[in-house]
Amino acid sequence: MTLYICGNSHTRALRAGAMYLEEHEGAEPMVVFPLGTADHEAAPFSEIVDGQVVLTNDRFHKKLKQFFGFSSFEPQHRWGICLGNHNSRIFRHEGWLSAAPTWMNAKGKTPVSEALFQRIVEDDQIYIRRFLTQLISTGVRPFVISAPWPVRPDPELTGIKLSHDVIKAIDTRARVLFSEWLAERDIAIVTPPVDTADEDGFLKPDFAKGGDDPCHGNNKYGRAMMRKVLAHEAKMAQSGENVTRLA
Amino acid sequence: MDNPYKHQPSKSFWRSAVAEFSPIEMDGVYEPRFEITPEMAISAAGSCFAQHIARQFRQRGYNFQDFEPAPRMIDAETADEFGYTQYSARYGNIYSVRQLVQLFERAEGRFEPEDHVWETGGRFYDPFRPSVQPGGFATEAECLVERRFHLEQVAKMLKKTDLFVFTFGLTEAWENLNDHAVLPTCPGADVGTFDPERYGFKNFRFAEILEDAETFILYARERNPEMKFLFTVSPVPLTATATDQHVLPATVYSKSVLRAVCGELTMKYDFVDYYPSYELVASHPMRGLFYRPNMRQVALEGVARVMDVFFGAHAAGAAVQNGSDTLVSSDAADA
């Protein structure tokens, strides 16, 4: 079964990794393409039409057709969805300059409780979650491929004056919440390889795209991540979990 | 023959001020005692109706103070749901002046109530503002961190307030019998556990409320000697009474006492103004028009009417000086 992987701009590193693995490590052919950027997932981008999920965002729709040859997501295909955990959208908000998660007990900062933080994450992921729910409800069995660990922000580049502790606390908790949401729906998630993170949990510089790019992994990261994705798929194949359930 | 009523203005006579007007046409019901300038730092607290007043001050460009603003990552709807932006800090509804006084005592560390954190269904609630966190806090520690921050912000409030707006809500309350901490809700009604050995019903009487209000005024003016006060009475009736009375007379008692306290304060202190939001919604000439069908919740039209009259009076300009409006009315003989 051909593995299809689509998603936001983090899919570019996955594509580079997939091409490398096909060429150098004999991986089965797969189709990996980004559909757009993370900006596109922050607005409604999908709906169910005639029992199948279609992409309503013009760019997403066009790219799905152009790169994958599909107008919708059909149950007989195996999809890896690279959406979710792009948490820089959350932690780069300048509101965090005067606030902190309550569990950090940060003196003088507006505490953001667990429940409120959960709401912030839900609001950020609302259209991604809607899309995944639509896929499940139409018989598609997707798995999710996480965005990389956060890149340690360079204030000179990003203008963010937040402490790394706050960023890490936000990112870590947001990842847990997303994983819990996926688990409740029996959707697997492939998380970034542990050895691509430094001791503080940020993406190691040699796995980051670098330069003025504040959030993406590089080709080396893409290779490491795709190895993990393929290992996940192999495990699923052994257990029969990636066999499409049409019923 | 001359008599004092002959020199009273038309607003003093029922026929010319009320009977000849529909509820939405009635004019001159409120004449501000002092001007509210755009520079005045305004803080607000009170029962649920006070939220409307606070919101309107904010929306109409007054210098409304929010010492505990919502985190900027959340939208307005979520902020409201989590108890932000309703008042000048995230204290939720404050129905009695005793509760208000105790809030500032707690903020300054002068009162540490026995009721610490309530646990219900594995979630944790602040007994003094159980509604600000929908579904409660995840842990006791979380509740305490949030409370510490909240009280720190409340402690800053009075020094930076020029006008304190308070809406009196109820005379009925529940208190801890050991330390007399007044709670905004009855324990066990929604969250918490009702223990008759620990909690008791309190129906505040005129003298108690007046004393509490004067305590608050004294306390507040120690922080800012120039502070002014705008008091109102909420037109929202009791949801239920814990007395043995019917809820209607219990409501009328409650509102009457609160209204009388406001009257007393206004007569006693020239830096206190009373705004008749209660009269504009609940009095019989309004014919119940401004209530929803359950005759309890105030309809949006009622809120709008109350706010339009208030801000219309203030926009009209200077505060009215006593005796400046002396139109002679033909109703004088009827009075």
ipTM confidence: 0.86
Beta carbons of A110 and B71 less than 8 angstroms apart: yes
In DSSP terms, A99 is beta-bridged to A110
Provide the percentage of residues in chain A whose pLDDT is more than 70: 95
Domains in chain A: boundaries = 3-92+126-161+175-239
Percent of chain B with pLDDT over 90: 88
Torsional sign, CA A156, A157, A162, A164 = negative
Cα–Cα distance list, A6 to A32, A235, A245, B147, B313 (Å): 6, 21, 20, 45, 61
pLDDT of B193 strictly over 90: yes
Contact flag A116-B78 (C-beta cutoff 8 Å): yes
A223 pLDDT tier (thresholds 50, 70, 90): very high
Residues in B closer than 8 angstroms to A116, CB to CB, are: 71, 74, 78, 82
Instruction: Please name which of A40, A51, A30, A49 lies closest in space to residue A8, comparing C-alpha atoms.
Output: A40
Provide the pLDDT confidence category of residue B308 given band limits of 50, 70 and 90.
very high
pLDDT band with cut points at 50, 70 and 90 for residue B298: very high
Query: What pLDDT does A104 receive?
Result: 94
pLDDT digits (tens, 9 = 90+) for B203-231: 999 999 999 999 999 999 999 999 999 99
Cβ contact A211:A179 at 8 Å: no
Q: What residues of chain B have any CB closer than 8 angstroms to a CB in chain A?
A: 68-69, 71-75, 78, 82, 133-135, 137-139, 141-142, 145-146, 149
Phi, psi values for residue B130, rounded to 5°: -65, -20
In this structure, chain A runs to a length of 247
Q: What does the mean pLDDT of chain A come to?
A: 92
Per-residue confidence band for A158, with pLDDT thresholds at 50, 70 and 90? low
| Phi/psi at B123 (5° precision) | -115, 160
Q: Is some CB atom of chain B closer than 8 A to the CB atom of A89?
A: no
Looking at chain B, which residue has its C-alpha nearest residue A107? B149
B84 contacts on A by Cβ (under 8 Å) = none
Tell me how close the Cα of B156 comes to any Cα of chain A, in angstroms.
Answer: 13
Positive or negative, the CA dihedral A234, A235, A240, A243 is: negative
Q: B283: burial class by Cβ within 10 Å (0-12, 13-18, 19+)?
A: middle
Tens digit of each residue's pLDDT (9 = 90 or more) over B122-147:
999 999 999 999 999 999 999 999 99
- What is the pTM (predicted TM-score) of this model? 0.89
Taking CB atoms and an 8 Å limit, are B71 and A110 in contact across chains? Answer: yes
Q: Select from B75, B135, B146 the Cβ nearest to the Cβ of A111.
A: B146
Given a contact cutoff of 8 angstroms between Cβ atoms, the answer to whether A147 and A85 are in contact is yes
* Residue B89 clears pLDDT 50, i.e. is over it: yes
* Chain position carrying tokens 């089965």: A28
Residue B329 has pLDDT above 90, yes or no: no
Q: What is the pLDDT of residues A52-67, one digit of tens each?
A: 999 999 999 999 999 9
B72: chain A residues, CB-CB within 8 Å: 93-95, 98-99
Judge contact between A45 and A55, C-beta under 8 A: yes
Contacts of A90 in chain B (CB under 8 A): 73
Q: Between chains, do A115 and B75 touch, taking CB under 8 Å as contact?
A: no
Q: Give the model's pLDDT for residue A155.
A: 66
Question: Mean pLDDT over all residues of chain B?
Answer: 92
**Stretch B235-263: mean pLDDT:** 97
- Per-residue pLDDT, A157: 55
pLDDT band at A2 (very low <50, low <70, confident <90, very high): confident
Sort out which chain B residues have CB atoms less than 8 A from A95's CB and list them.
Answer: 71-73
Residues paired with B43 in a beta bridge: B164
CA gap A176, B82 in Å, rounded: 23
| CATH number 3.40.50.1110 given to A3-92+126-161+175-239 | yes
CB contact under 8 A, A111 and B72: no
**How far apart (Å, rounded) are the C-alpha atoms in residues A117 and B74?**
9
Q: Do A119 and B137 touch (CB under 8 A)?
A: no
Predicted local distance difference test score (pLDDT) of residue B50: 87
What are the structure tokens assigned to A120, written together? Answer: 């912030």
Q: Is the pLDDT assigned to residue B330 strictly greater than 60?
A: no
pLDDT in tens, B34-45: 999 999 999 999
CB contact under 8 A, B74 and A119: yes
For A109, name the nearest residue in chain B, comparing CA atoms only: B149
Contacting A residues, span 111-130, partner chain B, CB-CB under 8 Å? 111-116, 119-120, 123
In this complex, the residue of A93, A98, A115 whose CB is nearest that of residue B135 is A115
pLDDT at A94 over 60: yes
Q: Does residue B326 carry a pLDDT above 70?
A: no
Question: For residue A32, what pLDDT band results from cuts at 50, 70 and 90?
Answer: very high
Token digits of residue B326: 């002396």
